[in-house]
Amino acid sequence: MNGRGPIGYCTREILESLHVTYKDLRGFIDEVAATGTLRRISGADQRYEIGGITEVAAGSAECPALLFDRIKGFPAGFRVFTNATTTPQRAAIALGIDPSLTPLDALKAWMAKRKTLRPHKPITVSRAAFLQNSMRSRQVDLGKLPAPYWHRKDGGPYIGSGSIVVMRDPDGGWINASIYRVQVHDKKRVTIQFDHAGRHGAIIAKKYWAKGKSCPVAVVNGEDPRLFIAGFEYLPDGQSEYDFAGAIKGGPIEVMAAPITGLPLPAHAEIILEGELLPEHKVSLPEGPFGEFTGYYASGRRPCPVMSVQAIHHRDDPILLGSPPMKPPRFHFGLPFRAASIWSNLETVGVTDVVGVWQHVAQLMTVVALRQRYAGHAKRAGLIAAANSYMARLVVIVDDDIDPSNLADVMWAVTTRCEPAEQIDIVRNAWSSALDPRIPSDQKDAGVTSHSKAIIDACRPFAWKDSYPKASALTPTETREIERKWQDALTGGPVKPPAAERGGTRRRQPRGRR
Ligand SMILES: Cc1cc2nc3c(=O)[nH]c(=O)nc-3n(C[C@H](O)[C@H](O)[C@H](O)COP(=O)(O)O)c2cc1C
Ligand SMILES: [Mn+2]
């Protein structure tokens, strides 16, 4: 399944001309604009419209990135950028991977790149763009920033939907920088939500609180997309997401010590909140509800630690990076990074011949494609994938002729190669979360956050796979040959130039450039 993917609204020449050297979010937006997938939207309302337009766009076939300006009630130039990395192509651009690869090949390229990544510690610079404007102490007013009310039933506006929360571990001194949602409560207070007590942010904050101190914290909004990706990674204790973002970049990110907390913060970030996370046993605020990535409000409203905001810094004409959870299949990342981790897990434990792993329905379904070598091979892969699939009730194993990133193909395999009475197993009490809408609330109250997973073996039965009815469709290679030979006829043919122009050759304009 090697090859180039559909290039959508942009020519291959443009894609290949992208040098993937963007310096910051603005540079990334320029690269997105060059692909023709950026839409600029003027006059939307912070209340529900930015969220609604983002959701509609994310559900459309083109899935454009959106840059909102002239937001109702805010000065022109205060912008919100959404759907940044929601397509495979834009996720690839963010990672510095060839964006013209097929989605599965792009994920494979990311796996290969990830294996050889070398962490880069950030370097300290003496000037930071985020210090162009500052509000301190009495001037601090979060209402000056266009934090959207993303979904209708949300408990309030969220400035942090794709923002990075930065803290320093008091023991090791290392910086944790990952994504936790941040709700605005009033001019000077936000809450920071940890899904569970194992989050590095939660562990670090507790260390300060245990000594009776508040935890110095910064919320970085409008960060380099590499940092957005790093913030989603499960990195081990002590390993900074800054170093990982530097690894993706192939060089250090630039930071500067912030004036109030002294935390090293990305110099090119757009908007930064500095302050302290107050001891949870002394003060908390009801947080949420917030529309979740499953497409529900399943975890409700809960007490949450409060950050007292002591300063707001922002660049001129700042851009907030927004990444609201939305009803699947919409998802923050067009490449399923967690599927890449499962793929690596399979390889690490010696499951051979895996040709692809993908996740659909916003991570709620995992698919592994492999070339079966022995009886039990597919189930072995299925059990490992199930063990590592967060919140996914469905795990499907398919043969190597199926593209796991193509849901129609996967369902064809399920409906034509899987005998349910023989090829579906159920694993109970497996890994889910409080966000799971199907765990009854009385069980959740009792602390249950697990569910069952179906492992669907949609491979041809190993014992008679060679005599299984042959597939009638063309192979990918045959398909490509036909496309090459008959492309003009299939796409309507080259435009016939008017008589006066004949003699020169004119090619059809690619879509999106018309
Ligand atoms: C857009 C987005 C929003 C997220 N929101 C939250 C959140 O509100 N709370 C949370 O605990 N994890 C959230 N996560 C998941 C964590 O960022 C992720 O699991 C990360 O690896 C945790 O980092 P840590 O190991 O440093 O705690 C979110 C992830 C993304 C991509
Ligand atoms: Mn971490």
pLDDT tens sequence across 17-70: 554 589 999 999 999 999 999 999 999 999 999 999 999 999 999 999 999 999
Question: How far apart (Å, rounded) are the C-alpha atoms in residues 114 and 234?
Answer: 13
User: Closest by alpha carbon to 125, among 232, 250, 239, 23?
Assistant: 23
- Residue among 169, 179, 203, 235 to mutate when testing ligand 1 (max atoms within 8 A of CB): 179
The average pLDDT across 445-455 equals: 97
Tell me the CA–centroid distance for residue 347 and ligand 2, in Å.
24
User: Closest by alpha carbon to 93, among 7, 3, 205?
Assistant: 7
Question: How far apart (Å, rounded) are the C-alpha atoms in residues 307 and 330?
Answer: 30
The answer on pLDDT for 389 being more than 50 is yes
Give pLDDT, residue 165: 98
Report the relative pairing of strands 394-399 and 365-370 from DSSP bridges: parallel
Cα 493 to chain centroid distance, Å, stands at: 38
Give pLDDT, residue 511: 43
CA–CA distance from 127 to each of 22, 51, 259, 328, 420 (Å)?
19, 34, 12, 41, 62
Alpha helices of 270-376 — where are they, by DSSP H? 337-348
Give pLDDT, residue 452: 98
**Ligand index nearest the alpha carbon of residue 293:** 1
Give per-residue pLDDT as tens, 86-134. 999 999 999 999 999 999 999 999 999 998 999 999 999 999 999 999 9
Whole-angstrom Cα Rg for the chain: 24
Give pLDDT, residue 359: 98
The average pLDDT across 73-90 equals: 98
* Atom number, ligand 1, closest to the C-alpha of residue 194: 11
More confident site: 328 or 476:
328
* Atom number, ligand 1, closest to the C-alpha of residue 203: 27
The average pLDDT across 209-222 equals: 98
Give pLDDT, residue 3: 40
* Atom number, ligand 1, closest to the C-alpha of residue 199: 27
Give the H/E segment covering residue 210.
helix 200-210
The answer on pLDDT for 258 being more than 60 is yes
* Predicted confidence band of residue 494 (pLDDT cuts 50, 70, 90): confident
Tell me the CA–centroid distance for residue 468 and ligand 2, in Å.
47
* Predicted confidence band of residue 507 (pLDDT cuts 50, 70, 90): very low
Residues 135, 324, 278, CA angle at the centre, nearest 5°? 45
CB atoms within 10 A of CB 401: 16
- Residue among 167, 176, 178, 228 to mutate when testing ligand 1 (max atoms within 8 A of CB): 178
Task: Kindly list the protein residues that place their beta carbon closer than 5 angstroms to ligand 2, a single-atom ion.
Answer: 176, 178, 200, 235
Are the beta carbons of 55 and 148 closer than 8 angstroms? no
* Predicted confidence band of residue 267 (pLDDT cuts 50, 70, 90): very high
User: Closest by alpha carbon to 455, among 365, 359, 353?
Assistant: 365
Indicate the residue type of 275.
G
Q: What is the SS3 assignment for 345-396?
A: HHHHCCCCCEEEEEEECCCCEEEEEECCCCCCHHHHHHHHHHHCCCCCCEEE
Q: Ligand 1: residues whose CB is within 6 Å?
A: 162, 176, 178-181, 193-195, 199-201, 231-234, 323, 332
CB atoms within 10 A of CB 422: 9
Give per-residue pLDDT as tens, 470-484. 999 998 899 999 999
The answer on pLDDT for 293 being more than 70 is yes
Residue-averaged pLDDT of the chain: 93
**Ligand index nearest the alpha carbon of residue 165:** 1
The answer on pLDDT for 500 being more than 90 is no
DSSP state of 469: P
Question: How far apart (Å, rounded) are the C-alpha atoms in residues 337 and 179?
Answer: 15
CB atoms within 10 A of CB 312: 26
| Closest CA to ligand 1's atom 20 | 232
Give per-residue pLDDT as tens, 122-172. 999 999 999 999 999 999 999 999 999 999 999 999 999 999 999 999 999
The answer on pLDDT for 430 being more than 80 is yes
Share of the chain above pLDDT 90, in %: 89
- Residue among 154, 199, 234 to mutate when testing ligand 1 (max atoms within 8 A of CB): 199
The average pLDDT across 250-256 equals: 97
